[in-house]
């Protein structure tokens, strides 16, 4: 799987790159960014995958996430894919919470979305192969995953479905139960159809209730987040992990909202947390 280089820039003792490739999963050109810390030839580095939220591209976290310094310090590669397929022939919706920029990390089964919206396969299968083929320093056996909001939903559900693949999992203000919030109900109904049983594999709380487990989990959520009560509902995740007896650290942060001011504040904590668990 070949990639094209859009840009490579020296930053924080490493290289920040932006790349494109033709995706077999989505049938479109996809853009992603990769930060690679300095390393000696032949050295292998762990990889942290970051999934972005509604309306975002790879650029949001790349430009505002403040991950480079901690990633350089811990020698962790940071990868930021896009949130959905894009292009003139890709279907879209007038709402910000569906269509382009709102892939929800599912494999759509309903027309017209099923032609391109296969973000689950893109993240779970294609992106790891792209990294393995093009970044020789990336140790794909030392893989962590995190994300924000819709991307937090993606990180949690992808890890819960593939617990042996991800050594570490965290999230910033995740949508913890799409079955029980307006964003999720719109997206899952549109992409998957009306059968709510088919939605459960894309709902972190449902996956935990159905037996999926992680060894541990870190979540940060701002208490001043205006989406907390209506969309994110962090308490549902706390209740699900308690029912399951699953180890989890869920931190409610006073005064913080849903923005990258919040994410960047706690990014170094998350990178360090992942680095500890990604030690070979």
Residue 162 pLDDT greater than 70, yes or no = yes
Residue 265 pLDDT greater than 70, yes or no = yes
**Calpha distance 46→143 (Å, rounded):** 6
Catalytic residue among 118, 177, 225, 270: 225
HSE-up of residue 48 (Cα within 13 Å, Cβ side) = 34
Q: What is the pLDDT of residues 104-120, one digit of tens each?
A: 999 999 999 999 999 99
Q: What is the pLDDT of residues 73-88, one digit of tens each?
A: 999 999 999 999 999 9
Domain-wise residue ranges, the chain: 4-278
pLDDT score at 147: 98
Contacts of 266 (CB under 8 A, 6+ apart): 172, 220, 253
Catalytic residue among 33, 149, 170, 173: 149
* Whether 225 is catalytic: yes
* Whether 89 is catalytic: no
pLDDT score at 1: 79
Catalytic residue among 58, 118, 258, 270: 258
pLDDT score at 280: 64
Task: List 102's β-bridge partners, or say none.
Answer: 99
pLDDT score at 203: 98
For residue 9, whether the previous peptide bond is cis, meaning omega lies within 30 degrees of 0, is no
Segment 251-255 shows an average pLDDT of 98
Q: Please give the structure tokens belonging to residue 223.
A: 């208490």
Q: Give me the CATH topology for the region 4-278.
A: Rossmann fold (3.40.50)
* Whether 149 is catalytic: yes
pLDDT score at 207: 98
pLDDT score at 118: 98
Segment 5-12 shows an average pLDDT of 98
């Amino acid at each position: 799987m070949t990639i094209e280089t859009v840009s490579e820039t020296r930053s924080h003792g490493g290289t920040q790159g932006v790349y494109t490739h033709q995706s077999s999963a989505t049938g479109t050109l996809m853009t992603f960014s990769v930060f690679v810390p300095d390393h000696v030839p032949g050295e292998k580095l762990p990889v942290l995958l970051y999934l972005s939220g509604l309306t975002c591209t790879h650029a949001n976290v790349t430009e505002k996430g403040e991950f480079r310094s901690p990633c350089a310090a811990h020698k962790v590669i940071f990868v930021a894919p896009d949130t959905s397929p894009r292009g003139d022939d890709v279907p879209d919706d007038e709402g910000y919470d569906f269509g382009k920029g709102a892939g929800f990390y599912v494999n759509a089964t309903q027309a017209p979305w099923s032609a391109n919206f296969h973000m689950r396969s893109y993240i779970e299968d294609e992106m790891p192969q792209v990294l393995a083929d093009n970044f020789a320093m990336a140790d794909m056996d030392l893989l962590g995953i995190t994300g924000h909001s819709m991307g937090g939903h993606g990180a949690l559900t992808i890890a819960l479905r593939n617990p042996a693949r991800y050594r570490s999992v965290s999230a910033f203000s995740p949508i913890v139960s799409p079955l029980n919030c307006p964003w999720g109900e719109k997206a899952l109904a549109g992409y998957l159809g009306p059968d709510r049983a088919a939605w459960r594999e894309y709902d972190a709380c449902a996956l935990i209730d159905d037996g999926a487990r992680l060894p541990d989990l870190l979540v940060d959520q701002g208490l001043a987040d205006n989406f907390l009560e209506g969309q994110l509902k962090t308490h549902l995740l706390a209740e699900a992990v308690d029912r399951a007896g699953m180890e989890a650290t869920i931190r409610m942060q006073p005064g913080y909202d849903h923005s990258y001011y919040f994410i960047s504040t706690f990014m170094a904590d998350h990178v360090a947390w992942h680095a500890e668990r990604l030690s070979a």
